[in-house]
Amino acid sequence: MPKILFAALGVIVLAGCSSGPAPVPVPSPAPEVAAACTQLVQALPAKVLDQKRRKTSPESPLTTAYGDPAIEVTCGVATPAGMAEAQSQCFQVNGVGWFAKQVQNGYIFTTIGREIYLEIAVPAKYSPEANALTDVSDSIQQHNKVITPCI
């Protein structure tokens, strides 16, 4: 009986542990970009890939995260270096153009052809990672004007 009680206490202690805020670097965009990003980040859905929104550290209106490991969203980032390369491609998800960069543990997706750059880092745990883009596309279409359509 003591082993069962000990195991039950261990489960309760683990359930009470929180992963805390997700560490997400904060960009330093121009004031007008920061204002537009604040509205866009606020408009993002409560869930991405069925993962609930969580706080970021440091707290910023330009960032949010979902799940654990964190799906990191950062608005107001610089143009991705690889996007200028001839072999870079634009692909669309629900009317939003994206540039994809594979990284060690997943993908980083950045909007293409919009007023502001929004980046979503999706860990490999959520494979196929691009499915996260369907959850955010409506907010992006409503709050990030198309400049050049993705072809």
Tokens of 37: 């990003």
Bridge partner residues of 66 (DSSP): 53, 71
Per-residue pLDDT tens for 6-25? 333 333 333 334 578 999 99
Q: What are the CA-CA distances from residue 18 to residues 21, 48, 52, 123 (Å)?
A: 9, 19, 13, 19
Question: Residues 114, 117, 119, CA angle at the centre, nearest 5°?
Answer: 130
Q: Per-residue pLDDT averaged across 33-59, rounded?
A: 97
| Phi then psi dihedrals of residue 59, to 5 deg | -65, 140
Find the radius of gyration of the CA atoms of the chain: 18
Per-residue pLDDT tens for 101-148? 999 999 999 999 999 999 999 999 999 999 999 999 999 999 999 998
Q: Assign 102 to helix, strand or coil.
A: strand
DSSP assignment of 7-76 equals HHHHHHHHHH----SEE-PPP---HHHHHHHHHHHHHS-SEETTEEEE-EES--TTEEEETTTTEEEEES
Q: For residues 122 and 62, what is the distance between their CA atoms, to the nearest angstrom?
A: 17
Q: For residues 118 and 106, what is the distance between their CA atoms, to the nearest angstrom?
A: 17
pTM (2 decimals)? Answer: 0.84
